[in-house]
Amino acid sequence: MFEADLKGRIFFLTEDPGLVRSQLAGNDLAWVPAMKLRDDISTDEITPAYICYYYDETLGEFPYLGLKCRDEFPIGRGAVKRGGFVASVSGKRRGKGSSREQSPYAEMCAGIKLVVAESIERIYRENCQNLGILTSTDFSILDRVRRGEKIPVSVFTDGEGEITRGIIEHGGLFNYNMARLAGRVRLTPPATPARPMTLGEKILARRWVVDPAQGKVGVAAVKPGDEGFVLTDIRFSHEYVTPMAAIFFEQLVGKDAKVHDPGSILMFRDHLTFLPEAMTPERVKEGLLDVALQLEKKQREFAEAQGIRLYGELRRGHHGSEAICHSKILESHALPGHVIIGSDSHTPHAGAVGCIAFGVGTTAIFNSWITKDVRLQVPETVQVVVRGTKPVNVTAKDFMLEVLRHPYVKSGRAIGKLVEYCGDAVEALSVDERATMTNMTAEVGGFTGYVAPDDQTVEYLMDYREMSRAEAERHCADLASDAGAEYCEVIGIDAAQIRPMIALPGDPGNGLSIEAVEQPIKVDIAYAGSCTAGKKEDMDMYARVLQEAAARGARVAPWVRFFIQCGSQDVKRYCEQQGYLDVFRKVGATFLEPSCGACINAGPGVSKTREEVTISAINRNFPGRSGPGQLYLANPYTVAASAITGYITAWEPGMVLAEGGGATR
């Protein structure tokens, strides 16, 4: 019988910073439910972006450095490791946000072997399992840890599928995959009879690995709960993740080993190309810039050795990259019906053209270099139906802020689900706008999001891939949910009732209509960019507002720093052709080359103090995500209008924008 030896202390991540500090000082907490645990702990808080420059055991010095308890950050470097903790406990939605496996790896290297929480986000939970960290939502297990008992691993595998159970018993994904490839583990394909399926289920059924030795792929049907491996069409990673995955690959597979099918693997240098401009002098003195630059070097060397295509940074002396990974995957690689995995939680971006694209952690990526497949359990599907005609100044971003504040999503019940976006209001959106919705499925906590291919998709493939209509239609054929397909929840939204929204600092689910804001909110920074908001149509929106302002002689408010950052060189060329770059310069905006930049606290547009206020079109605003300041999310129109007025302002067609918050019709 497999047993877990969990001798050590229990660390309760409470809202009270005093209780956290007391535990770090050596005092065990006699926790009772009245002591509120921190909910919504994001991976940005477990390992802030700058911590992820490390990709080895050094990470054990850093877990929870970004954990915000009330208004304090009570955990310092090395504190968790010195504390002798074996278990870490928190509230709802543990591990939301970024797919960075550095978070559970940092916890593991600090001694944490067990994570207990009321609910746990999908990617974070899988990353824990892949590394060999145990997870549970059963708080009664803590009594057994206190008593120092050896706990049967079956406690952690009860109710799990065949594969998840095997991964936990083998102590991680790599050990399990080696047993699978050696024939010591044989999987039984699902025997699900033919049934009406959602589009997501159909795609997974078509790519289901039946017999890897014979290359047999595809089953008649799948249903929620079926567990197996799915063959991927594209696997990609970026410089935050590739080096750690490469180290795992070289240590566990072999220094001279070759990845499987390098032509279907892509790598990106897109996250840290502006880092020298954003890093504080204190961090530079700590040597973090030198550490971060090693990420680029390791990825480049690995890609070259393996014959993998790398979308790199611009020539020396010019910050920026060829493209943000999500932008380029959608523009140039994703096809309807594809299965795509990426080392980033916003991989669902590509679901805008009707593929199943989802984020995975480092261990899953490096294992896919060996097997070309990825493990999953078929999720239930949530259908989001947006109907009606939206106001002109309402965008897909507002749709998503509305979805994110829905009680079903806010309560965490959408975690790990497939999310199908449909309805006439979604059908009316361009593929660029649909990508905003599928991208932000990461904030929903969903497994992935998608929109069924249609005429808009055909036109997109003809435009971006230069396909003939016949070829584009062939790619989109037979990709729709069946009549009678089952949904665990249907969320209905009336587009006509939505008004331009913002999300208050701290969480994308803090949405409200700008009309409901009682006092003017003065802004210091306006940031227009990222994968979510750096597409061609986003640029159209910024330009529409700024062209109207420029025509009246208006400029960016003197106290506002306004940055516009595109998602790819293709988008930049589009802006040049449309004359947008001249408009942006004329009003006083700073245009930036493609990069994740400020969205991950690594480029122009980050705040420097807690008092600074940013209005941003990015996808998430967790504490510390883009600097220490107060980060509000909004649609592209609102960001551009707010840059001109200096206050958060919802734009309307024909509005006269003026510095100082003035805006008239």
pLDDT tens digits, one per residue of 123-136: 899 999 999 999 99
How many whole angstroms separate alpha carbon 143 and alpha carbon 148?
9
321 is a domain residue = no
Average pLDDT of the segment spanning 265-275:
93
> In terms of residue numbers, what domain contains 114?
3-177
What tokens were used for 661?
A: 């918050």
Task: List all residues 6 or more positions away from 297 whose beta carbon is below 8 Å from its beta carbon.
Answer: none
- Name the residue among 606, 599, 661 with its Cα closest to residue 629: 606
Apex CA 14: angle with CA 12 and CA 15, to 5°? 170
Residue 315 has pLDDT above 90, yes or no: no
21 is a domain residue = yes
Residue 646 has pLDDT above 60, yes or no: yes
Domains held by the chain: number: 2
Among candidate residues 152, 177, 202, the one where a domain is terminated: 177
Residue 27: helix, strand or coil by DSSP? coil
Residue 278 has pLDDT above 80, yes or no: no
Residue 594: helix, strand or coil by DSSP? coil
What is the overall mean pLDDT for the chain? 94
Single-letter code of the amino acid located at 361: G
Helix axes 580-587, 569-578, angle to 10 degrees: 80
Beta partners for residue 11, in sequence order: 88
Please write down the HEC assignment for all residues of 272-296: CCCHHHHCCHHHHHCCHHHHHHHHH
How many whole angstroms separate alpha carbon 327 and alpha carbon 478?
26
How many whole angstroms separate alpha carbon 67 and alpha carbon 51?
13
pLDDT by residue (tens digit) across 189-235? 899 999 999 999 999 999 999 987 788 999 999 999 999 999 999 99
Average pLDDT of the segment spanning 41-45:
94
Average pLDDT of the segment spanning 335-341:
98
294 is a domain residue = no
CATH code of the domain containing 607:
3.30.499.10
pLDDT by residue (tens digit) across 607-641? 999 999 999 999 999 888 899 999 999 999 999 99
Using CA atoms, how far residue 298 sits from 242, 250, 294, 313, 360, in Å, is 8, 12, 6, 14, 20
Residue 496 has pLDDT above 90, yes or no: yes
pLDDT at 494: 98
Are the CB atoms for 537 and 430 separated by under 8 Å?
A: yes
Which of 58-62, 142-146, 266-270, 600-604 has the least mean pLDDT?
600-604
Label residue 601 by pLDDT band (50, 70, 90). Answer: confident
Q: What percent of the chain has pLDDT over 70?
A: 98
Residue 380 has pLDDT above 70, yes or no: yes
pLDDT at 88: 98
CATH code of the domain containing 81:
3.20.19.10
Among candidate residues 177, 204, 227, the one where a domain is terminated: 177
Label residue 36 by pLDDT band (50, 70, 90). Answer: very high
Average pLDDT of the segment spanning 530-556:
96
Label residue 316 by pLDDT band (50, 70, 90). Answer: low
How many whole angstroms separate alpha carbon 453 and alpha carbon 355?
9
**DSSP-assigned letters across all residues of 179-235:** HHHTTSS-PPPP-PPP----HHHHHHHHTBEEETTTTEE--S---TT-EEEEE-SEE
Name the helix (H) or strand (E) containing 88: strand 85-90
254: left (phi > 0), else alpha (psi -120 to 50), else beta? left
Please write down the HEC assignment for all residues of 104-115: HHHHHHCCCCEE
pLDDT at 662: 62
What tokens were used for 158?
A: 């009860």
Expressed in angstroms, the distance from the first to the final Cα of the chain is 73
Average pLDDT of the segment spanning 505-514:
96
615 is a domain residue = yes
What tokens were used for 122?
A: 């999908």
Average pLDDT of the segment spanning 355-373:
95
Average pLDDT of the segment spanning 394-406:
98
3-state helix, strand, coil in the chain (%, to 5): 40, 20, 40
pLDDT at 56: 86
Average pLDDT of the segment spanning 409-437:
97
588 is a domain residue = yes
Using CA atoms, how far residue 649 sits from 202, 497, 568, 584, 591, in Å, is 43, 19, 28, 18, 21
pLDDT at 167: 94
Apex CA 353: angle with CA 596 and CA 380, to 5°? 95
pLDDT at 319: 85
How do strand 227-231 and strand 373-377 relate by DSSP bridges? antiparallel
Residue 660 has pLDDT above 80, yes or no: no
pLDDT at 257: 96
Are the CB atoms for 51 and 106 separated by under 8 Å?
A: yes
Are the CB atoms for 220 and 192 separated by under 8 Å?
A: yes
Compare 361 and 219 and report the one with higher pLDDT.
219
516 is a domain residue = yes
631 is a domain residue = yes
Among candidate residues 177, 208, 227, the one where a domain is terminated: 177
Q: Does this model's pTM top 0.85?
A: yes
CA 117 to chain centre: 21
Label residue 665 by pLDDT band (50, 70, 90). Answer: low
Beta partners for residue 566, in sequence order: none
| Burial class of residue 499 (count of CB atoms within 10 Å of its CB; 0-12, 13-18, 19+) | middle
Are the CB atoms for 95 and 46 separated by under 8 Å?
A: yes
Single-letter code of the amino acid located at 327: S
Label residue 654 by pLDDT band (50, 70, 90). Answer: confident
pLDDT at 1: 54
Compare 387 and 184 and report the one with higher pLDDT.
387
Q: What percent of the chain has pLDDT over 90?
A: 86
**DSSP-assigned letters across all residues of 413-474:** TTTT-EEEEESHHHHTS-HHHHHHHHHTHHHHT-SEEE----HHHHHHHHHHH---HHHHHH
Compare 24 and 288 and report the one with higher pLDDT.
24
pLDDT at 288: 85
Label residue 152 by pLDDT band (50, 70, 90). Answer: very high
139 is a domain residue = yes
Residue 86 has pLDDT above 60, yes or no: yes
Are the CB atoms for 12 and 116 separated by under 8 Å?
A: no
